[in-house]
């Protein structure tokens, strides 16, 4: 059974002016997402600035999210690392807290071989009992999971159930689904490719867009699943200018700016990320107004 179907939000981590995690605001964001129809919350992913959270913060944010959601929708904890031992530690702790599943990014910087990736992921998955979703985002990690490796992992490791595909390489994803034999739960990792991946057999999206448009992102998926492919496609195409604006600088710089423009007060970014350039911020604000969320 799939961890979730539909739109899962890759939720931001709000910070106070002094740089600490702002749990009060985080709780408000979680409630807004659930009220907006989001199908799952993915905590401490790329959008949640996990790379600049220390281990204590990382686990505290996961624990808070699980407790706040209180079983209303699935919580998927980002616990990947470029160090297998660290990923095992974060993953086993998240499981203890009650995470419904784990999101495991490819090891960054190390650039493991495909055999190394298999061993890395199998070691993490074997340390827990909850489902694991692979996360392929080579533009950020410098490491690509080959389709054959994804299928091997989902076939040979019982609790590895699927992949968040953010490579943007449609041909690679077509190949993956052509050899998946129904064993891979496919989630889009790119908001501008939700409908194309659903058409290939995907079951949802792990979304940045959902931070600012939870209902609309949910509806893209729901319409498709209900057979309204034209309506789903229309919603996807309507969102493209906003998607482009949300990725005109590296994620999560624009989405945090967008939330602040909406009055959500999620705070600044942690270094080395910096505030959005004025020209790009103006483009983002324009796209948000045209989309109707500002």
Q: Are strands 40-43 and 75-78 parallel, antiparallel or unpaired?
A: parallel
Short-list 197, 94, 93, 85, CA closest to 136: 197
Distances (CA, A) of 73 to 7, 42, 133, 174: 11, 11, 17, 30
Q: Is 286 a catalytic residue?
A: no
The catalytic residue among 25, 63, 68, 164 is 164
Task: Map residue 144 onto helix, strand or coil.
Answer: coil
C-alpha span between 162 and 36 (Å, rounded): 25
Return the structure tokens found at 91. Answer: 């993953």
The catalytic residue among 135, 223, 256, 264 is 135
Q: Is 164 a catalytic residue?
A: yes
Sort 35 into a burial class: Cβ within 10 Å, 0-12 / 13-18 / 19+. Answer: exposed
User: Looking up tokens 């890395």, which residue turns up?
Assistant: 120
165, 188 contact by CB (below 8 A): yes
Non-local (6+) Cβ contacts of 265 within 8 A are 14, 25
The residues that bridge with 136 in the sheet, in sequence order, are 165
Sort 238 into a burial class: Cβ within 10 Å, 0-12 / 13-18 / 19+. Answer: middle
C-alpha span between 69 and 211 (Å, rounded): 16
C-alpha span between 138 and 47 (Å, rounded): 16
Q: Which residues does the annotation mark as catalytic? A: 135, 164
């Amino acid at each position: 059974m799939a961890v979730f179907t539909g739109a899962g939000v890759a939720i931001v981590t709000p910070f106070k002016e002094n740089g600490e995690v702002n749990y009060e605001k985080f709780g408000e964001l979680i409630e807004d997402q659930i009220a907006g129809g989001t199908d799952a919350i993915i905590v401490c992913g790329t959008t949640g600035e996990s790379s600049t959270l220390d281990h204590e913060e990382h686990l505290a944010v996961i624990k808070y999210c699980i407790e706040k959601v209180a079983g209303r929708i699935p919580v998927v904890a980002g616990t990947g690392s470029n160090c297998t031992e660290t990923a095992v530690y974060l993953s086993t702790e998240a499981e203890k807290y009650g995470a419904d599943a784990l999101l495991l990014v490819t090891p960054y910087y190390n650039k493991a071989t495909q055999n190394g990736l298999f061993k890395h992921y199998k070691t993490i998955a074997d340390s827990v009992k909850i489902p694991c979703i692979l996360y392929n985002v080579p533009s950020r990690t410098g490491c690509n999971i080959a389709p054959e490796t994804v299928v091997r992992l989902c076939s040979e490791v019982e609790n590895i159930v699927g992949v968040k595909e953010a490579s943007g390489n449609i041909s690679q994803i077509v190949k993956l689904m052509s050899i998946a034999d129904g064993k891979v739960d496919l989630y889009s990792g790119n908001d501008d490719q939700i409908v194309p991946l659903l058409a290939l057999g995907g079951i949802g999206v792990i979304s940045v867009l959902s931070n600012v448009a939870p209902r609309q992102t949910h509806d893209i998926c729901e319409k498709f699943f209900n057979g309204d492919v034209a309506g789903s496609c229309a919603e996807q195409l309507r969102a493209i200018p906003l998607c482009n604006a949300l990725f005109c600088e590296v994620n999560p710089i624009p989405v945090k700016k967008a939330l602040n423009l909406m009055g959500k007060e999620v705070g600044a970014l942690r270094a080395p990320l910096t505030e959005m350039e004025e020209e790009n911020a103006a483009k983002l604000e324009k796209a948000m107004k045209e989309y109707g969320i500002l």
